[in-house]
Amino acid sequence: MMRSTQVVNFIHGINEGDAYMSRTKEKAGPHDVVVRARQAVIDRSDLEPPGVAFLYAAPGAMPTAVQFGQSVSTITLQFSKDTIPSWEWDAESGLYKRKQDNGEWDVDEAGNVLTAVNIIVQITPETTLFGNVKFVPKAETVGTGVGYVSTGGKTFPMVWSKTDRNAFTTYSFQDENPIRLAPGNTWIELVPTKGKFSTEPALR
């Protein structure tokens, strides 16, 4: 599936990917493969940069969620009965902080809590590869559906749309006016339609 896309693949054990891959003893397989991403980007500078994925509020203007959304301190996402991560709004830093299923902070290898400026929750139909529940779930991101965007401690409902697998996903109001984010990193959560999205306080 990855190899049939229109992007260049660097895959361990296949084609030119091995030149940029190594294994670390710090993790168990298959999660022990490390990629030299910076070098891959340098070596393939002939590739065109990707298009614009998001729209941002102009300098001095408010992002969509801040302007129209409701104040929300906690965003909880239920992917399955055992997978229920959440995001906590931290007003002091102006960032959302991610928690794992057990309520502990989700951290990187250095122990820093994972954070985001914008959170996009995309409610997405889900199938399983090979039609077997024992295999990896597959988010069906081509089509349209509902979702939520969170910025600056506020959350606002929106609509997502993707016309085909090569197109960028667009995020908009019900009237198709585009959603605008705040400058900074954005975390997209693909919550299955059988899952659950909830907030504290609850959205009205």
Question: Could you tell me if 123 and 176 lie in one domain?
Answer: yes
The reply to whether 120 and 151 lie within a common domain is: yes
14 and 91 inside one domain:
no
pTM here is 0.84
- Quote the domain boundaries for residue 136: 64-200
Q: How many structural domains is the chain composed of?
A: 2
Q: Verify that 181 and 102 share a domain, yes or no.
A: yes
In a domain, 183, yes or no: yes
pLDDT tens, N- to C-terminus, the chain (204 residues): 666 777 778 777 776 777 888 888 888 877 888 888 899 889 989 988 888 899 999 999 999 999 999 999 999 999 988 899 999 999 999 999 999 988 899 999 889 999 999 999 999 999 877 665 566 788 999 999 999 999 999 999 999 999 998 899 999 998 889 999 999 999 999 999 999 999 999 887
Distance CA 121, CA 89 (A): 15
